[in-house]
Structure 1
Amino acid sequence: MLAAKIHLKHVSIVTTEGYAASPGGSQAKFMAEVSAEEQARNKNLTPAAFRDYQNGIRPAGPGARDLIDHFESVDEEILAMQASSPGTRPGDEEVIQLLARRAKTLRLGIANYCWFADPSRALCLILAGTPGSDKPLVGMCDSARCPQATHHGGHRPVWASSAQNKKVFIAKIGRGQRDEKARLQKELDRDLRVLSEIDAATGTAA
């Protein structure tokens, strides 16, 4: 499922960059269809992340605190709705509506969720020098540092695979390639830190 979602996001990026100079006709229709698919996907992923939060499974990553704060505010709204109508509980559609604004900001990274709520805080745009852009640059994403990125349990296999591959590469590096080894070790340390944070947040730490 994650691979399919990543593929959908990749298609969106490629088509946007490829057709930006010549919009219209079938190209515009295709982009509208991709956008509709993304919106439908986000309506499912955001409530799923919220349900995880309600079950004690927290997000990790630099943007985790902001997302948790938002989920806490939604929880408060749900409690207020229940208090105003004793004996009733908001249905799924009502919860989805409460989460709708946040869902619209969701973009999929390679191994993270990008909550693109404030372009001026997006690390990819800051690095590219385009903080006013209305789309994130997923190819430049560094989710371990971006304040709008979160990591969830479903992202763990990607980070684990990345860490394992780096361990293999590091073991094969000769003594004369100290700079390359140091670079990969730094990236491995980052991967292991992200894995540790995911495990701690989701309650799967050993």
Structure 2
Amino acid sequence: MADLRLERVLWRHGCQVIGLDEAGRGPLAGPVVAAACILPEGAVLPGVNDSKRLTEKQREAAYAPIQEAALGWGVGIVDAARIDEINILRATFEAMAQAVEAARVMAAVRLGRVAEAALLVDGNQRLPQWTGWQRPVVGGDRKSLSIAAASILAKVTRDRLMVEYDQLYPGYGFARNKGYGSQEHLAALEQLGPCPIHRRTFIGPRQLRFF
């Protein structure tokens, strides 16, 4: 279960801790979404854990309490066209940088000052755009409460977007598969071809013929 052990080490050094995670690196359609979350010392968020280990109902239930508890939080969204332009890894970093900036601005407004910040980044890669202290944490959404909270913010935000896209582009089952390559989604691609939110670099030549 995610806790605050990593955060406490940094708080003792006077750092503002920013947990950072993303959702949607693997789907065939839709944006990649990143979220950053700055929790206060001693934050209590019962049930908050790695978003992948929670049900959709549990994630939705945790979403607002995380926002209310956080000193600052932010979301970054990079769409399919940009993913195709710069590749998914760079697009993920771009979304993360947006999320961190938004979270820091919110925290600065609420606290009345800009604090020295340290990143805890889920995974094994550093955020290139960040020049301050940071630590990649493999499995971070199961170890750090700040990262776990960010993972829920990112996942819920993206899932809600995909439900909206399902209304705009019916037939692919986006509300159910969230853009991932389910059998339903792949069958729809064969029949309908890609829609504007599909990632051209993620789908095969048979589907690309529709473009």
TM-score range, shorter chain: under 0.3
| Structure-1-length-normalised TM-score | 0.27
More helix by share: 1
Larger Rg: 1
More strand by share: 2
| Structure-2-length-normalised TM-score | 0.26
